[in-house]
Structure 1
Amino acid sequence: MNVFYEESGSFKVGTIVSRADASLQVDTQHGKRAKIKSSNVFLEFSSTLADFLPAAEKMADEIDLDFLWECSPEEEFDHDVLAADYWGHVPSALESAAIILRVFGAPMYFYKKGKGRYKKAPEEALKAALAGIERKKREQEQIDGWVAELKAGTLPEAIRSQLMTLLWKPDKNTLEFKAFDQAARELNQPPLKLAQSVGGISSVPDYLMAGFLMEYFPKGSGFGKYAPPQLPEELPLSEVAAFSIDDANTTEIDDALSVVDLPDGNKRVGIHIAAPTLGVPVDSDIEKLVWGRLSTVYFPGGKITMLPDDVVQAFTLQEGQDCPALSLYVDVTPDFEPVAYESRIERVRIAANLRHAELEQQFNEDTLLNDPGVDYPFKRELTWLWHFANALEKRRGKYDPTRPVQMDYNFDVVDGKVLITLRKRGAPMDKLVSELMILANSEWGRMLAEADIPAMYRAQSMGKVRMTTRPEPHIGLGVAQYAWATSPLRRATDFVNQRQLTAMIRGEKPQFEQGNAMLFALLRDFDTTYSAYLGFQDKLEHFWCLRWFTQEGVSNVTATFIKEDLVRIDGLPMRVRIPGLPELARGDRIQLSVIRIDELMAEIEFRFVGVVGHVEAASEEEEG
């Protein structure tokens, strides 16, 4: 005798070898001996074992499910009752097995209530389930169609419109994602490579920008509607003529300088900072933009400003204008010793916006050491300020003329072509500006601390730089405290600190008092966001470095060994890891050949050629 039984959710047949009270020993149709529970047996039959299950499955497939559902009773029923009603007679073992298979395999039509017992699904539930099946069928047909197009090298329009979302922030439940993911798997390609192969990525910078905007500017990089700034009135006009020093592309001119002679032989240095906070009320639309953006985003070929253009233009230190400013005046002795400080809120006449490219030709290390006698605007002031800057650097304990020169890099992108230029860090005009900004930031930080007004400080200890609302030493800069306050058009930290400084100067209640929760929240958000903005800038600079190799046809370069497998490519702001390097000393210069460049995946592969020299490795400073 043979049995038809269920095991682990599937139906099987076997020949009885022996019986016990609650179990059977059977030989399966595949010739294996098995022990099964008697409760799992649905029926016994005597027909041929090998033919029974295929015949039952064929008969089950021919049963019309809709008709079977209509034939079934409203109350719970046993399978044999339904089989008798459906066939119209006492069913054979084969007919009973066919009904069992058909009912068991249609859970949308019949709900299982126990062994061999079922209840028909309510009509509305059945209709909804069937509609769902039909929808899934149509969706799969759509997916299959899109997959076929992608595999053929065509990008369906529906996927094109969602492509950046699919690559950066995919919703895995969408049909577009399922199709794109399926095509990538079937082609054995990373999704990014598939997107490129079907023409979905116009350029790598555009792809990187799309992901960045999606994460940090989901509503777009525009500013929307906002109430215009309120220009401050009745500010006293300073008697100085100030000048700024910036590169040609700078529109957010935050700082300017002035120098005047005092009757006692001292000089008074003015550090003048643009003052947008004087025209941006607390809780105004523009302030909310500052809290939302937190910083200007810089990247090769462009920027996304923290403030709208009309606000920048209203407060930037523009040549020929009397501009609202927060000024720090420093009285300096002939020995370059600062002896007095005074902060003022005023208007400052900006006599000139000096630009790096023109100024550096006349004001550089060579002309300072061997003056050719050529005059240029503010020559006397610039020369004196350079000596003052050297003195300030010495006061900080950071002056070291033997220190290896470090380089800064500028990226200019025009019509898809990149120009990477180098400038020595510590060049006269750079040192001049940076030292005076360090002086202003550290002194204003000191003043705020003495007034018990919280601010946003940068602190460094144990090699780590962090943000804090209380003054702490910045070891890397050699100052007792360092409050960012000199770039309020570009950074929310400086905007906050300018608000606090203005209140201090005017003797008013500051916007943020000690323990203010919003100040801590802004500090946290700024720290995270600023790091992300810098990370985006690094990504794009890395891409343009890769493009430079191809653009310039460079196949061999030199690099400086740092440690382990890490090297710095000479002449580029680029560090790469090169596995398998021989034993090298820090500062060894090595020759490398370019093996492979993949701009989309941000990859470059080099092969070590040999050692070509050695240089003293420059120290890596966190900030300067």
Structure 2
Amino acid sequence: MNLFFEESGDFKAGSVMSQAGEAYQVELASGKRSKVRVKDVLLQFAAPDTATLMEQAKLAAADIDLEFLWEVAGQEEFGFAELGAEYFGHAPQAVEAAGLILALHSAPIYFYKKGRGRYKAAPEASLKAALAGIEKKKQQALIQAGYVEELKQHRLPEQIKALAMQLLFKPDKNSIEYKAWAEACDALQTAPAQLMLECGGLATAKDFHFSRFLFDSFPKGLAFPDAPIPALPDNLPVADVQAFSIDDVTTTEIDDAFSVVLLPDNQVRIGIHIAAPTLGIKRDDALDMIARARMSTVYMPGDKITMLPDALVDTYTLGAGQARPALSLYVTLDMQDWSVLATETKVEAVPMAANLRHNDLDTLVTEENLANDAGEYPHKADIALIWKWALVLEQGRMAKREAFGLKPEQTNRVDFNFYVDDDVVSIVRRKRGAPLDKMVAELMIFANSTWGKFMADHGIPGIYRAQGGGSGGWAAKMQVRMVTHAAPHQGLGVDQYAWSTSPLRRYTDLVNQWQIIACVQNGVAAPLVAPFKPKDADLFAIVSAFDAAYSAYSEFQNNMERYWCLRWLQQENVRQVDAVVLKDEVLRLVDIPLIIRLAGMPQMARGAQVRLDILRWNELDLSVEARLLEMLSTVTDEGMDEESELADGDQGTADDLSTDSSADSSVDSAQQEVEAANPDDEADAASTEK
């Protein structure tokens, strides 16, 4: 006797060897033996043999018309034998019965299983819906296959073109477009972004990086919502100064300037003037919401995304030939020893005499020319006095920094400025610590520190940058962090440091300017009327949001600078390059700020120069492959300084200014890299973000 039975959801046939109570011992056609319970047996048969039955049952199941079988079944629950008699017109033979069971079991959309050998026909509505779903899947499979074939030919279907950015950055993995895309990438053995580029969904690799950033940080696009631009205040006193700014040639958001007035008794009054857009922006108004949503201007070589609408920037920028609202810090100094005799903060209109540009003055305003009173350039006498004070400020900061237990800053490293014109990039080396850089950096650090104390003395909160005194290990203790109370910044060598000098392009500075002006206008009553009161929870939310946005913007800027470095290699057709060893297997090219990790490189001294052969690079994933050609004999100070920036944690870049031009946005980028790599310092007073 043979049995046809169900075991673990599968159907099998075997020959009975013995029976003991409610169980059979059977042998399958494979020779395997199994114990089968009586309740699992569906058929008993003598012929054919078990192997033949299984083979013929499968053929019989394939021949059964499921639609006709469904119609015959009716709406009541049934056993397979009952249905078999109706369908075949006679009591089914073993092969027919087994085939019927297999057919019923394999068609769950037609028949619902109710027990061993018992089924119920699906309701008509449910069956139609299920069949429609199956047909839809078939059609989708055909469409998907068509997409795959087009993609293999490097043609981009219109339906996929419309979803290009979503497919790259946040795909719906259940969509046929994504499935086709993934299948085509697998078939072609290529990365998704590379295939999109080859199919024309991306014009260039630059579009990929820019689009990814916009997708993540500006999902609603770059257009500013409509907001009224406030008129300039007409009731401000006009300062009796002729102020001038110092910026890169491409700078448009000019938010800091200087003035110098000689006083009797060998004294001088130096003014630090900061654009005051807060006189036209009020907390929670439309412009504030715009600035708070963006948190900062975003910089990249050749372009930028401003924090504030151009019309507002044009209104409040410190442009030459205009008197513009400003928050001014006047510092009276004794020129005998450059000690500070008095400070005063005013809200006023400041006449702008000139906008000086680094590109015009860097070769003229050198340490040698300043020492010898050589060269001719605008505001020469004013710059000479500011230079002398800047040197004293730097010396004082360094003494305080060392008192905190930190090493002296290194100021002879090299920065790089990026200029992009019609997709042609120029990368220009620029030594940190140039006199104009140092002047701007030192005066901005002084202003940010002074105004930070000013807010603390008036009992109102602000947004401060602090370093040192944290908890945890040494690195954690020295990590730069943002707080809402005055705290030392040991890397800069100041007792407190509140970003306040870039309100046109950084939201933290805008917030702090509101607070400072509240102190100026209300004195001891400032805690009662300042936009942000002590322990204002909204201030903590701003700090958190700013940190997140600034980190994302910095990463994007770093990626774009690396992209343009790779473009420079292609543009200049450079294959063999000199590089400086920064640390272990990390090198930086001498001519451009491209960092390369050379795995397996022999141990070399930090600062050693080597020659590399650039083998290949990828502008999409920004990877570079190179091999070592030879070691050059020179060990450079530049290399040592760069290495210490990455490894020793005692260097940094200026934190007090942010570049207003994409041309030298590399300094803003470097600032963030150094904060991450060097927890003990974020600032090099000899470098600016200008």
SS at match of 1:107: coil
Alpha-carbon contact 2:253-2:504 (below 8 Å) kept? yes
| 1:318-357 to 2 correspondences below 5 Å | 318-334=319-335, 335-357=337-359
Deviations 1:128-160 (A, max 9, x none): 111111111111111111011111222212112
1:614 to 620, 635, 655: 635
Correspondence for 1:524? 544
Correspondence for 1:27? 27
Q: Residues of 2 paired with 1:375 and 1:585: CA distance?
A: 43
SS at match of 1:600: coil
Report deviation, 1:284. Answer: 1.1
Q: Residues of 2 paired with 1:207 and 1:104: CA distance?
A: 50
Alpha-carbon contact 1:274-1:489 (below 8 Å) kept? yes
Deviations 1:318-370 (A, max 9, x none): 11111000001111111211121100000000111111111223212332234
Q: Which moved more, 1:159-168 or 1:584-593?
A: 584-593
Alpha-carbon contact 1:561-1:589 (below 8 Å) kept? yes
Q: Residues of 1 paired with 2:69 and 2:434: CA distance?
A: 90
Correspondence for 2:179? 178
Correspondence for 2:663? none
SS at match of 1:396: helix
1:605 and 2:625 matched = yes
Amino acid at match of 1:560: V
Q: Residues of 2 paired with 1:98 and 1:449: CA distance?
A: 88
Amino acid at match of 2:318: L
Alpha-carbon contact 2:398-2:408 (below 8 Å) kept? no
Report deviation, 1:121. Answer: 1.6
Correspondence for 2:365? 363
- For structure 1, the residue ranges without an aligned partner over 5 or more in a row are none
Alpha-carbon contact 1:336-1:391 (below 8 Å) kept? yes
Alpha-carbon contact 2:197-2:204 (below 8 Å) kept? no
Q: Which moved more, 1:576-585 or 1:387-396?
A: 576-585
Q: Residues of 2 paired with 1:37 and 1:432: CA distance?
A: 93
| 1:100-499 to 2 correspondences below 5 Å | 100-334=101-335, 335-372=337-374, 374-397=375-398, 403=410, 405-461=412-468, 462-499=477-514
Correspondence for 1:5? 5
Report deviation, 1:414. Answer: 1.3
Amino acid at match of 1:427: A
Q: Residues of 2 paired with 1:403 and 1:145: CA distance?
A: 61
SS at match of 1:238: coil
Report deviation, 1:401. Answer: 10
Amino acid at match of 1:495: L
Alpha-carbon contact 1:230-1:280 (below 8 Å) kept? no
Report deviation, 1:409. Answer: 1.1
1:561 and 2:581 matched = yes
Q: Which moved more, 1:116-125 or 1:173-182?
A: 116-125
Correspondence for 2:554? 534
Q: Residues of 1 paired with 2:218 and 2:596: CA distance?
A: 30
Amino acid at match of 1:593: D
Q: Residues of 1 paired with 2:598 and 2:445: CA distance?
A: 38
Cα 1:313–1:147, aligned 2, differ >3 Å: closer, same or farther?
Answer: same
| Aligned alpha-carbon RMSD (Å) | 1.7
Cα 1:401–1:100, aligned 2, differ >3 Å: closer, same or farther?
Answer: closer
SS at match of 1:464: coil
Q: Percent of aligned positions with the same letter in both sequences?
A: 47
Q: Which moved more, 1:217-226 or 1:396-405?
A: 396-405
SS at match of 2:64: coil
Alpha-carbon contact 2:209-2:620 (below 8 Å) kept? no
Q: Which moved more, 1:394-403 or 1:567-576?
A: 394-403
Report deviation, 1:14. Answer: 2.1
Alpha-carbon contact 2:193-2:208 (below 8 Å) kept? no
Amino acid at match of 1:608: L
Q: Which moved more, 1:479-488 or 1:545-554?
A: 545-554
SS at match of 1:153: coil
- For structure 2, the residue ranges without an aligned partner over 5 or more in a row are 402-406, 469-476, 646-651, 653-681, 685-690
Correspondence for 2:68? 67
Report deviation, 1:404. Answer: 5.7
Correspondence for 1:549? 569
Report deviation, 1:292. Answer: 0.3
Correspondence for 1:15? 15
Q: Which moved more, 1:376-385 or 1:608-617?
A: 608-617
Alpha-carbon contact 1:266-1:333 (below 8 Å) kept? yes
Q: Which moved more, 1:610-619 or 1:111-120?
A: 610-619
Q: Residues of 2 paired with 1:403 and 1:230: CA distance?
A: 45
- Greater relative CO (CA pairs within 8 A, separation 6+): 2
Report deviation, 1:402. Answer: 9.7
Amino acid at match of 1:81: E
Length, aligned pairs only: 623
Report deviation, 1:116. Answer: 1.4
Q: Residues of 2 paired with 1:404 and 1:308: CA distance?
A: 36
Q: Residues of 2 paired with 1:100 and 1:311: CA distance?
A: 78
| 1:45-56 to 2 correspondences below 5 Å | 45=45, 46-56=47-57
Q: Which moved more, 1:414-423 or 1:21-30?
A: 21-30
SS at match of 2:480: strand
Report deviation, 1:403. Answer: 4.1
Deviations 1:513-557 (A, max 9, x none): 111111100100001110110100000101111111121122222
Q: Which moved more, 1:33-42 or 1:503-512?
A: 33-42
Q: Residues of 2 paired with 1:530 and 1:98: CA distance?
A: 68
Alpha-carbon contact 2:197-2:205 (below 8 Å) kept? no
1:592 and 2:652 matched = no
Report deviation, 1:197. Answer: 3.0
Report deviation, 1:433. Answer: 0.5
Report deviation, 1:60. Answer: 1.6
TM-score by length of 2: 0.88
Correspondence for 1:43? 43
Amino acid at match of 2:461: P
Correspondence for 2:677? none
Cα 1:608–1:404, aligned 2, differ >3 Å: closer, same or farther?
Answer: farther
Q: Which moved more, 1:290-299 or 1:184-193?
A: 184-193
Alpha-carbon contact 2:579-2:588 (below 8 Å) kept? yes
Q: Residues of 2 paired with 1:230 and 1:469: CA distance?
A: 31
Deviations 1:157-185 (A, max 9, x none): 21122112111111112221111011112
Q: Residues of 2 paired with 1:8 and 1:194: CA distance?
A: 45
Q: Residues of 2 paired with 1:199 and 1:304: CA distance?
A: 26
Amino acid at match of 2:487: E
Amino acid at match of 1:447: F
Q: Which moved more, 1:442-451 or 1:413-422?
A: 413-422
SS at match of 1:189: coil
Report deviation, 1:67. Answer: 1.8
Deviations 1:213-235 (A, max 9, x none): 01110110110211222422301
Q: Residues of 1 paired with 2:411 and 2:417: CA distance?
A: 20
Q: Residues of 1 paired with 2:148 and 2:315: CA distance?
A: 53
1:575 and 2:587 matched = no
